[in-house]
Structure 1
Protein backbone atom coordinates (compact mmCIF):
# COMPACT_ATOMS: atom_id res chain seq x y z
CA UNK A 1 0.00 0.00 0.00
CA UNK A 2 1.27 3.46 -0.91
CA UNK A 3 0.43 6.76 0.70
CA UNK A 4 -0.43 9.87 -1.25
CA UNK A 5 2.88 11.60 -1.74
CA UNK A 6 4.92 8.73 -3.18
CA UNK A 7 2.55 7.88 -6.03
CA UNK A 8 2.84 10.10 -9.13
CA UNK A 9 -0.17 11.51 -10.90
CA UNK A 10 -1.27 10.02 -14.22
CA UNK A 11 0.62 6.73 -13.80
CA UNK A 12 -1.19 4.97 -16.67
CA UNK A 13 -2.01 5.88 -20.30
CA UNK A 14 -5.73 6.12 -19.60
CA UNK A 15 -5.15 8.62 -16.78
CA UNK A 16 -2.70 10.78 -18.74
CA UNK A 17 -4.16 14.00 -20.24
CA UNK A 18 -3.79 14.15 -24.02
CA UNK A 19 -5.11 17.63 -24.81
CA UNK A 20 -3.69 20.88 -23.44
CA UNK A 21 -0.97 18.94 -21.68
CA UNK A 22 0.61 22.18 -20.50
CA UNK A 23 -2.27 22.45 -18.03
CA UNK A 24 -1.66 19.00 -16.57
CA UNK A 25 -0.16 18.82 -13.09
CA UNK A 26 2.44 16.28 -12.06
CA UNK A 27 2.41 16.66 -8.28
CA UNK A 28 -0.07 14.60 -6.28
CA UNK A 29 -0.55 17.59 -3.96
CA UNK A 30 -2.44 19.22 -6.82
CA UNK A 31 -5.00 16.41 -6.66
CA UNK A 32 -5.61 17.01 -2.98
CA UNK A 33 -5.95 20.73 -3.60
CA UNK A 34 -8.83 20.04 -5.98
CA UNK A 35 -10.45 17.48 -3.69
CA UNK A 36 -10.14 19.78 -0.67
CA UNK A 37 -11.87 22.59 -2.58
CA UNK A 38 -14.72 20.38 -3.85
CA UNK A 39 -18.02 19.67 -2.14
CA UNK A 40 -19.41 17.26 -4.74
CA UNK A 41 -18.01 14.91 -7.33
CA UNK A 42 -19.60 13.25 -10.35
CA UNK A 43 -19.51 9.48 -10.64
CA UNK A 44 -19.49 8.32 -14.26
CA UNK A 45 -20.88 4.80 -14.44
CA UNK A 46 -22.91 2.64 -16.82
CA UNK A 47 -26.26 1.85 -15.21
CA UNK A 48 -28.46 -0.72 -16.94
CA UNK A 49 -26.59 -0.06 -20.18
CA UNK A 50 -26.90 3.74 -19.98
CA UNK A 51 -23.86 5.96 -19.22
CA UNK A 52 -24.65 8.37 -16.41
CA UNK A 53 -22.66 11.06 -14.59
CA UNK A 54 -24.21 11.41 -11.16
CA UNK A 55 -23.45 13.98 -8.45
CA UNK A 56 -22.51 12.41 -5.15
CA UNK A 57 -20.82 13.21 -1.87
CA UNK A 58 -17.38 11.86 -1.14
CA UNK A 59 -14.60 11.60 1.41
CA UNK A 60 -10.85 11.17 1.07
CA UNK A 61 -8.34 9.19 3.10
CA UNK A 62 -4.83 9.81 1.73
CA UNK A 63 -3.52 7.00 3.93
CA UNK A 64 -6.36 4.60 3.07
CA UNK A 65 -5.84 0.94 2.34
CA UNK A 66 -6.16 1.34 -1.43
CA UNK A 67 -3.32 2.03 -3.86
CA UNK A 68 -2.46 5.72 -3.62
CA UNK A 69 -5.05 6.37 -0.91
CA UNK A 70 -8.82 5.99 -0.88
CA UNK A 71 -11.74 7.95 -2.30
CA UNK A 72 -15.03 7.04 -0.60
CA UNK A 73 -18.39 7.37 -2.36
CA UNK A 74 -21.59 7.31 -0.36
CA UNK A 75 -25.24 6.66 -1.06
CA UNK A 76 -28.29 4.51 -0.48
CA UNK A 77 -28.20 0.72 -0.67
CA UNK A 78 -30.95 1.12 -3.28
CA UNK A 79 -28.76 3.25 -5.54
CA UNK A 80 -28.38 1.44 -8.87
CA UNK A 81 -25.19 3.34 -9.65
CA UNK A 82 -23.50 2.21 -6.44
CA UNK A 83 -24.83 -1.33 -6.84
CA UNK A 84 -23.50 -1.74 -10.38
CA UNK A 85 -20.26 0.26 -10.10
CA UNK A 86 -18.11 -2.50 -8.50
CA UNK A 87 -18.54 -4.67 -11.60
CA UNK A 88 -16.91 -2.11 -13.90
CA UNK A 89 -14.27 0.58 -14.17
CA UNK A 90 -15.63 4.02 -13.34
CA UNK A 91 -14.40 7.59 -13.36
CA UNK A 92 -15.00 10.29 -10.78
CA UNK A 93 -14.59 13.94 -11.71
CA UNK A 94 -14.13 17.09 -9.63
CA UNK A 95 -14.31 20.66 -10.89
CA UNK A 96 -13.56 23.90 -9.07
CA UNK A 97 -14.51 27.02 -11.02
CA UNK A 98 -12.17 29.89 -10.12
CA UNK A 99 -13.04 32.55 -12.68
CA UNK A 100 -14.63 33.56 -15.96
CA UNK A 101 -12.01 34.47 -18.56
CA UNK A 102 -13.40 37.28 -20.70
CA UNK A 103 -11.37 37.58 -23.87
CA UNK A 104 -11.53 39.92 -26.87
CA UNK A 105 -13.12 37.27 -29.05
CA UNK A 106 -15.76 34.66 -28.37
CA UNK A 107 -13.35 31.95 -29.49
CA UNK A 108 -10.83 32.80 -26.74
CA UNK A 109 -13.31 33.13 -23.89
CA UNK A 110 -12.53 30.50 -21.26
CA UNK A 111 -12.70 29.69 -17.58
CA UNK A 112 -10.08 29.46 -14.87
CA UNK A 113 -10.54 26.13 -13.14
CA UNK A 114 -9.01 23.23 -11.27
CA UNK A 115 -10.21 19.78 -12.27
CA UNK A 116 -9.39 16.20 -11.37
CA UNK A 117 -10.33 12.79 -12.73
CA UNK A 118 -9.91 9.53 -10.82
CA UNK A 119 -10.41 6.24 -12.65
CA UNK A 120 -10.47 2.68 -11.40
CA UNK A 121 -12.64 -0.17 -10.17
CA UNK A 122 -14.31 0.49 -6.80
CA UNK A 123 -14.82 -2.02 -4.03
CA UNK A 124 -17.69 -2.26 -1.56
CA UNK A 125 -16.65 -1.24 1.95
CA UNK A 126 -17.68 -4.11 4.20
CA UNK A 127 -15.34 -3.85 7.18
CA UNK A 128 -17.31 -2.29 10.10
CA UNK A 129 -14.41 -0.18 11.34
CA UNK A 130 -13.63 1.15 7.88
CA UNK A 131 -17.30 1.94 7.30
CA UNK A 132 -17.52 3.99 10.48
CA UNK A 133 -14.30 5.80 9.72
CA UNK A 134 -15.46 6.59 6.18
CA UNK A 135 -18.78 7.94 7.43
CA UNK A 136 -16.95 10.19 9.88
CA UNK A 137 -14.73 11.43 7.06
CA UNK A 138 -17.83 12.26 5.01
CA UNK A 139 -19.23 14.41 7.80
CA UNK A 140 -15.90 16.07 8.52
CA UNK A 141 -15.52 17.06 4.87
CA UNK A 142 -18.51 19.34 5.39
CA UNK A 143 -17.45 20.72 8.78
CA UNK A 144 -14.11 19.46 10.15
CA UNK A 145 -14.50 18.05 13.65
CA UNK A 146 -18.28 17.76 13.51
CA UNK A 147 -18.43 13.95 13.44
CA UNK A 148 -17.06 13.77 16.99
CA UNK A 149 -19.98 15.89 18.25
CA UNK A 150 -22.72 13.66 16.82
CA UNK A 151 -24.34 10.46 17.98
CA UNK A 152 -23.03 7.29 16.34
CA UNK A 153 -24.90 5.79 13.35
CA UNK A 154 -27.65 3.32 14.21
CA UNK A 155 -27.80 -0.20 12.80
CA UNK A 156 -30.75 0.87 10.66
CA UNK A 157 -28.78 3.80 9.22
CA UNK A 158 -25.76 1.61 8.54
CA UNK A 159 -27.94 -1.00 6.84
CA UNK A 160 -29.41 1.71 4.59
CA UNK A 161 -26.00 3.05 3.54
CA UNK A 162 -23.70 1.79 0.80
CA UNK A 163 -20.07 2.84 0.67
CA UNK A 164 -17.66 2.33 -2.20
CA UNK A 165 -13.90 2.79 -2.05
CA UNK A 166 -11.93 3.79 -5.13
CA UNK A 167 -8.12 3.80 -5.28
CA UNK A 168 -6.60 7.22 -5.88
CA UNK A 169 -3.76 5.62 -7.84
CA UNK A 170 -4.98 6.54 -11.32
CA UNK A 171 -5.68 10.25 -11.31
CA UNK A 172 -5.05 13.34 -13.40
CA UNK A 173 -5.29 17.05 -12.64
CA UNK A 174 -5.52 20.03 -14.96
CA UNK A 175 -5.82 23.73 -14.23
CA UNK A 176 -6.04 27.04 -15.98
CA UNK A 177 -5.08 30.34 -14.39
CA UNK A 178 -4.39 33.86 -15.54
CA UNK A 179 -5.44 36.26 -18.26
CA UNK A 180 -7.17 35.67 -21.57
CA UNK A 181 -4.94 34.41 -24.37
CA UNK A 182 -5.84 36.73 -27.22
CA UNK A 183 -4.48 37.19 -30.71
CA UNK A 184 -2.07 40.12 -31.13
CA UNK A 185 -4.45 41.87 -33.52
CA UNK A 186 -7.29 41.62 -31.00
CA UNK A 187 -5.10 43.11 -28.27
CA UNK A 188 -4.07 45.94 -30.56
CA UNK A 189 -7.73 46.74 -31.29
CA UNK A 190 -8.06 48.17 -27.79
CA UNK A 191 -11.00 46.04 -26.60
CA UNK A 192 -11.21 45.36 -22.83
CA UNK A 193 -10.42 41.86 -21.55
CA UNK A 194 -10.01 40.39 -18.08
CA UNK A 195 -11.07 37.82 -15.52
CA UNK A 196 -14.11 37.73 -13.23
CA UNK A 197 -12.99 35.69 -10.18
CA UNK A 198 -15.45 33.25 -8.62
CA UNK A 199 -15.45 31.48 -5.25
CA UNK A 200 -17.82 29.60 -2.92
CA UNK A 201 -18.51 31.70 0.15
CA UNK A 202 -20.69 31.03 3.19
CA UNK A 203 -23.55 33.23 4.32
CA UNK A 204 -24.75 33.62 7.88
CA UNK A 205 -25.40 30.37 9.75
CA UNK A 206 -29.13 29.65 10.12
CA UNK A 207 -30.09 27.71 13.25
CA UNK A 208 -32.84 25.11 12.75
CA UNK A 209 -36.28 26.15 13.97
CA UNK A 210 -36.35 23.31 16.51
CA UNK A 211 -32.85 24.19 17.83
CA UNK A 212 -33.71 27.68 19.00
CA UNK A 213 -31.73 28.88 21.99
CA UNK A 214 -28.77 26.60 21.30
CA UNK A 215 -25.43 28.18 20.50
CA UNK A 216 -23.88 27.57 17.08
CA UNK A 217 -21.05 25.03 17.64
CA UNK A 218 -17.51 26.32 17.39
CA UNK A 219 -16.73 23.89 14.56
CA UNK A 220 -19.59 25.35 12.49
CA UNK A 221 -18.56 28.94 13.22
CA UNK A 222 -14.98 28.17 12.23
CA UNK A 223 -16.09 26.51 9.01
CA UNK A 224 -18.33 29.45 8.14
CA UNK A 225 -15.45 31.85 8.76
CA UNK A 226 -13.17 29.79 6.51
CA UNK A 227 -15.69 29.80 3.67
CA UNK A 228 -16.39 33.52 4.02
CA UNK A 229 -12.66 34.15 3.68
CA UNK A 230 -12.27 31.73 0.75
CA UNK A 231 -10.74 33.27 -2.31
CA UNK A 232 -10.10 31.28 -5.46
CA UNK A 233 -7.00 31.79 -7.58
CA UNK A 234 -9.06 33.78 -10.12
Structure 2
Protein backbone atom coordinates (compact mmCIF):
# COMPACT_ATOMS: atom_id res chain seq x y z
CA UNK A 1 0.00 0.00 0.00
CA UNK A 2 1.38 3.40 -1.01
CA UNK A 3 0.60 6.08 1.55
CA UNK A 4 1.41 9.66 2.43
CA UNK A 5 3.48 9.99 5.58
CA UNK A 6 1.33 11.81 8.16
CA UNK A 7 2.77 14.75 10.06
CA UNK A 8 1.39 17.36 12.46
CA UNK A 9 -0.75 18.80 9.67
CA UNK A 10 -2.43 15.64 8.43
CA UNK A 11 -2.31 13.18 11.33
CA UNK A 12 -5.84 12.51 12.58
CA UNK A 13 -6.50 12.78 16.30
CA UNK A 14 -10.19 11.81 16.37
CA UNK A 15 -12.14 8.93 14.82
CA UNK A 16 -8.98 7.17 13.74
CA UNK A 17 -10.99 4.22 12.38
CA UNK A 18 -12.32 6.51 9.66
CA UNK A 19 -8.88 7.76 8.61
CA UNK A 20 -6.52 6.57 5.93
CA UNK A 21 -3.34 7.93 4.37
CA UNK A 22 -3.60 5.60 1.39
CA UNK A 23 -2.77 7.44 -1.83
CA UNK A 24 -5.28 5.52 -3.94
CA UNK A 25 -8.14 6.37 -1.58
CA UNK A 26 -7.18 10.04 -1.41
CA UNK A 27 -6.77 10.29 -5.17
CA UNK A 28 -10.12 8.58 -5.79
CA UNK A 29 -11.87 11.24 -3.70
CA UNK A 30 -10.12 14.00 -5.65
CA UNK A 31 -11.13 12.35 -8.91
CA UNK A 32 -14.80 11.98 -7.92
CA UNK A 33 -15.68 15.60 -8.55
CA UNK A 34 -14.04 18.65 -10.14
CA UNK A 35 -14.89 21.24 -7.49
CA UNK A 36 -12.24 21.58 -4.79
CA UNK A 37 -11.80 24.07 -1.95
CA UNK A 38 -8.44 25.79 -1.68
CA UNK A 39 -7.37 27.59 1.50
CA UNK A 40 -4.46 30.00 1.79
CA UNK A 41 -3.30 32.98 3.84
CA UNK A 42 -3.00 36.44 2.35
CA UNK A 43 -1.58 39.35 4.32
CA UNK A 44 -4.23 42.06 4.89
CA UNK A 45 -3.78 45.37 3.11
CA UNK A 46 -4.04 47.05 6.50
CA UNK A 47 -1.48 45.49 8.91
CA UNK A 48 -3.60 46.56 11.88
CA UNK A 49 -6.49 44.29 10.85
CA UNK A 50 -6.63 40.54 11.62
CA UNK A 51 -5.35 38.08 9.05
CA UNK A 52 -8.12 35.67 8.09
CA UNK A 53 -7.58 32.56 5.99
CA UNK A 54 -9.22 32.58 2.56
CA UNK A 55 -11.06 29.60 1.06
CA UNK A 56 -11.98 29.49 -2.61
CA UNK A 57 -13.95 26.93 -4.63
CA UNK A 58 -11.88 26.08 -7.70
CA UNK A 59 -11.94 23.58 -10.54
CA UNK A 60 -9.19 21.06 -9.98
CA UNK A 61 -7.84 17.78 -11.29
CA UNK A 62 -5.14 15.34 -10.26
CA UNK A 63 -2.63 14.49 -12.96
CA UNK A 64 0.94 13.47 -13.71
CA UNK A 65 2.73 15.52 -16.33
CA UNK A 66 5.64 14.06 -18.30
CA UNK A 67 8.00 16.57 -16.66
CA UNK A 68 7.49 15.08 -13.17
CA UNK A 69 6.77 11.49 -12.07
CA UNK A 70 4.75 12.63 -9.06
CA UNK A 71 1.05 13.53 -9.41
CA UNK A 72 0.08 17.13 -8.74
CA UNK A 73 -3.25 18.87 -8.25
CA UNK A 74 -3.85 21.29 -11.10
CA UNK A 75 -6.15 24.26 -10.41
CA UNK A 76 -7.93 26.50 -12.89
CA UNK A 77 -8.23 30.20 -12.13
CA UNK A 78 -8.03 33.70 -13.50
CA UNK A 79 -4.60 35.19 -14.16
CA UNK A 80 -5.63 38.40 -12.38
CA UNK A 81 -7.11 36.73 -9.30
CA UNK A 82 -5.47 37.33 -5.92
CA UNK A 83 -4.45 33.68 -5.49
CA UNK A 84 -2.76 33.70 -8.90
CA UNK A 85 -0.87 36.90 -8.11
CA UNK A 86 0.23 35.57 -4.72
CA UNK A 87 1.41 32.30 -6.23
CA UNK A 88 3.34 33.93 -9.06
CA UNK A 89 5.23 36.07 -6.52
CA UNK A 90 6.42 33.16 -4.35
CA UNK A 91 8.96 31.80 -6.81
CA UNK A 92 9.93 28.11 -7.03
CA UNK A 93 9.08 27.47 -3.36
CA UNK A 94 5.39 28.06 -3.95
CA UNK A 95 2.51 29.25 -1.81
CA UNK A 96 1.43 27.06 1.15
CA UNK A 97 -2.12 25.87 0.51
CA UNK A 98 -4.62 23.36 1.84
CA UNK A 99 -6.92 21.62 -0.66
CA UNK A 100 -10.03 19.73 0.42
CA UNK A 101 -12.79 17.70 -1.16
CA UNK A 102 -15.89 16.29 0.54
CA UNK A 103 -18.65 14.06 -0.82
CA UNK A 104 -21.83 13.48 1.19
CA UNK A 105 -23.11 9.89 0.90
CA UNK A 106 -25.87 9.74 3.50
CA UNK A 107 -27.59 11.12 6.59
CA UNK A 108 -27.22 8.75 9.54
CA UNK A 109 -30.13 8.88 12.00
CA UNK A 110 -29.49 7.26 15.39
CA UNK A 111 -31.60 6.96 18.52
CA UNK A 112 -30.21 10.18 20.02
CA UNK A 113 -29.22 13.47 18.37
CA UNK A 114 -25.75 13.05 19.87
CA UNK A 115 -25.13 9.96 17.74
CA UNK A 116 -26.52 11.31 14.49
CA UNK A 117 -23.85 11.48 11.79
CA UNK A 118 -23.23 11.48 8.05
CA UNK A 119 -21.70 8.97 5.69
CA UNK A 120 -19.08 10.80 3.66
CA UNK A 121 -15.75 10.73 1.88
CA UNK A 122 -13.30 13.57 2.45
CA UNK A 123 -9.68 14.34 1.66
CA UNK A 124 -7.43 17.10 2.97
CA UNK A 125 -4.17 17.83 1.18
CA UNK A 126 -1.31 20.08 2.26
CA UNK A 127 1.23 21.34 -0.23
CA UNK A 128 2.72 24.25 -2.11
CA UNK A 129 1.14 25.85 -5.18
CA UNK A 130 3.26 27.15 -8.05
CA UNK A 131 2.35 28.99 -11.23
CA UNK A 132 2.58 26.89 -14.40
CA UNK A 133 4.67 28.93 -16.82
CA UNK A 134 5.55 26.24 -19.38
CA UNK A 135 3.16 26.62 -22.34
CA UNK A 136 3.05 22.89 -23.13
CA UNK A 137 2.29 21.93 -19.53
CA UNK A 138 -0.38 24.65 -19.26
CA UNK A 139 -2.12 23.37 -22.40
CA UNK A 140 -1.88 19.77 -21.13
CA UNK A 141 -3.38 20.89 -17.82
CA UNK A 142 -6.24 22.63 -19.62
CA UNK A 143 -7.09 19.36 -21.33
CA UNK A 144 -6.83 17.51 -18.01
CA UNK A 145 -9.16 19.97 -16.28
CA UNK A 146 -11.65 19.99 -19.15
CA UNK A 147 -11.93 16.21 -19.14
CA UNK A 148 -12.24 16.20 -15.35
CA UNK A 149 -15.44 18.23 -15.72
CA UNK A 150 -16.76 16.01 -18.53
CA UNK A 151 -14.75 13.07 -19.90
CA UNK A 152 -13.88 13.34 -23.61
CA UNK A 153 -15.04 16.97 -23.72
CA UNK A 154 -11.66 18.34 -24.86
CA UNK A 155 -11.74 16.31 -28.06
CA UNK A 156 -15.36 17.28 -28.63
CA UNK A 157 -15.07 21.05 -28.28
CA UNK A 158 -13.33 23.92 -30.07
CA UNK A 159 -9.66 23.45 -29.25
CA UNK A 160 -6.96 24.49 -28.67
CA UNK A 161 -7.68 27.63 -26.64
CA UNK A 162 -6.65 30.90 -28.22
CA UNK A 163 -3.62 32.83 -27.01
CA UNK A 164 -5.95 35.37 -25.38
CA UNK A 165 -7.79 32.60 -23.53
CA UNK A 166 -4.57 31.10 -22.22
CA UNK A 167 -3.29 34.54 -21.18
CA UNK A 168 -6.47 35.15 -19.18
CA UNK A 169 -6.19 31.74 -17.50
CA UNK A 170 -3.95 30.84 -14.59
CA UNK A 171 -2.98 27.20 -14.11
CA UNK A 172 -1.63 26.46 -10.64
CA UNK A 173 -0.21 23.13 -9.59
CA UNK A 174 0.00 21.89 -6.04
CA UNK A 175 2.85 19.63 -5.00
CA UNK A 176 1.38 17.25 -2.41
CA UNK A 177 3.47 17.06 0.75
CA UNK A 178 1.11 15.23 3.08
CA UNK A 179 -2.55 14.24 3.00
CA UNK A 180 -5.22 12.22 4.74
CA UNK A 181 -8.70 10.99 4.01
CA UNK A 182 -11.70 10.21 6.16
CA UNK A 183 -14.56 7.95 5.21
CA UNK A 184 -17.67 6.86 7.06
CA UNK A 185 -19.75 4.15 5.38
CA UNK A 186 -22.00 2.40 7.90
CA UNK A 187 -25.28 2.61 9.74
CA UNK A 188 -26.10 4.37 13.02
CA UNK A 189 -24.23 3.58 16.22
CA UNK A 190 -26.39 4.26 19.25
CA UNK A 191 -25.38 4.18 22.90
CA UNK A 192 -25.89 0.85 24.62
CA UNK A 193 -28.18 2.47 27.18
CA UNK A 194 -30.46 3.81 24.45
CA UNK A 195 -30.40 0.50 22.58
CA UNK A 196 -31.66 -1.28 25.71
CA UNK A 197 -34.45 1.24 26.27
CA UNK A 198 -37.49 -0.54 24.78
CA UNK A 199 -39.63 2.61 24.77
CA UNK A 200 -37.00 4.61 22.86
CA UNK A 201 -36.33 1.80 20.39
CA UNK A 202 -40.05 1.38 19.71
CA UNK A 203 -40.59 5.12 19.16
CA UNK A 204 -37.50 6.36 17.26
CA UNK A 205 -36.83 5.34 13.65
CA UNK A 206 -33.16 4.72 12.93
CA UNK A 207 -31.33 4.20 9.68
CA UNK A 208 -29.57 5.94 6.82
CA UNK A 209 -30.98 8.26 4.17
CA UNK A 210 -28.63 7.75 1.19
CA UNK A 211 -27.44 10.87 -0.63
CA UNK A 212 -26.07 10.79 -4.14
CA UNK A 213 -25.77 13.17 -7.04
CA UNK A 214 -27.87 12.33 -10.06
CA UNK A 215 -26.93 13.92 -13.38
CA UNK A 216 -30.13 14.94 -15.14
CA UNK A 217 -31.08 14.83 -18.78
CA UNK A 218 -28.92 17.28 -20.75
CA UNK A 219 -30.70 20.52 -21.69
CA UNK A 220 -29.58 22.05 -24.96
CA UNK A 221 -28.47 25.68 -25.22
CA UNK A 222 -30.69 28.12 -27.13
CA UNK A 223 -28.17 28.32 -29.96
CA UNK A 224 -27.30 24.60 -30.02
CA UNK A 225 -27.23 23.24 -33.57
CA UNK A 226 -26.46 19.57 -32.83
CA UNK A 227 -29.70 17.62 -33.03
CA UNK A 228 -28.88 14.76 -30.66
CA UNK A 229 -27.05 14.62 -27.34
CA UNK A 230 -23.62 13.07 -28.05
CA UNK A 231 -23.16 9.51 -26.87
CA UNK A 232 -20.20 10.35 -24.66
CA UNK A 233 -22.34 12.86 -22.71
CA UNK A 234 -25.25 10.44 -22.32
CA UNK A 235 -23.00 7.58 -21.22
CA UNK A 236 -21.18 9.80 -18.73
CA UNK A 237 -24.37 11.06 -17.07
CA UNK A 238 -25.75 7.54 -16.71
CA UNK A 239 -22.46 6.07 -15.47
CA UNK A 240 -21.81 8.79 -12.87
CA UNK A 241 -25.35 8.63 -11.50
CA UNK A 242 -25.21 4.85 -11.19
CA UNK A 243 -21.81 4.90 -9.52
CA UNK A 244 -22.83 7.54 -6.94
CA UNK A 245 -26.00 5.63 -6.09
CA UNK A 246 -24.11 2.36 -5.60
CA UNK A 247 -21.58 3.98 -3.24
CA UNK A 248 -24.30 5.65 -1.16
CA UNK A 249 -26.39 2.48 -0.85
CA UNK A 250 -23.35 0.37 -0.01
CA UNK A 251 -22.49 2.77 2.82
CA UNK A 252 -26.06 2.70 4.11
CA UNK A 253 -25.99 -1.07 4.52
CA UNK A 254 -22.31 -1.42 5.41
Same fold (TM over 0.5): yes
Which sits farther off after the overlay, 162-171 or 149-158? 162-171
Give the Å deviation of 1:213.
Answer: 4.5
Moved over 6 A (4+): none
Which residue in the other structure is 1:204 paired with?
217
Give the Å deviation of 1:14.
Answer: 1.9
Using structure 1 for the length normalisation, give the TM-score. Answer: 0.90
Which digits, 9 at most, give the CA deviation of each residue in 1:154-174, with x for residues without a partner? 000000001110013421111
Which digits, 9 at most, give the CA deviation of each residue in 1:94-124, with x for residues without a partner? 0011111111111111111110011111111
Which residue in the other structure is 2:47 paired with?
none
Which residue in the other structure is 1:129 paired with?
136
- Conserved? CA contact 2:31–2:61, under 8 Å: no
Which residue in the other structure is 2:61 paired with?
59
Structure of larger gyration radius: 2
Instruction: Extract unaligned runs of 5+ from structure 1.
Output: none
How many pairs does the alignment contain?
229
**Aligned-partner Cα distance in 2 for 1:212–1:161:** 28
**Aligned-partner Cα distance in 1 for 2:212–2:167:** 37
Question: CA 1:21–1:153 in structure 2 vs 1: closer, same or farther (change >3 Å)?
Answer: same
- Conserved? CA contact 1:67–1:169, under 8 Å: no
**Aligned-partner Cα distance in 1 for 2:5–2:210:** 29
- Conserved? CA contact 1:69–1:169, under 8 Å: no
Give the Å deviation of 1:12.
Answer: 3.1
SS at match of 2:137: helix
Counting only pairs closer than 5 Å after superposition, residues 1-234 of structure 1 correspond to structure 2 as: 6=2, 8-49=3-44, 50-62=52-64, 65=67, 68-85=70-87, 87=90, 88-150=95-157, 151-189=159-197, 190=201, 191-230=204-243, 231=245, 232-233=247-248, 234=251
**Aligned-partner Cα distance in 2 for 1:94–1:118:** 9
Give the Å deviation of 1:45.
Answer: 1.0
**Aligned-partner Cα distance in 1 for 2:237–2:219:** 11
**Aligned-partner Cα distance in 1 for 2:121–2:64:** 19
Question: CA 1:156–1:113 in structure 2 vs 1: closer, same or farther (change >3 Å)?
Answer: same
RMSD across aligned C-alpha pairs, in angstroms? 1.9
Which digits, 9 at most, give the CA deviation of each residue in 1:22-59, with x for residues without a partner? 21113211012211222311000123433111111001
Give the Å deviation of 1:67.
Answer: 7.2
Instruction: Extract unaligned runs of 5+ from structure 2.
Output: 45-51
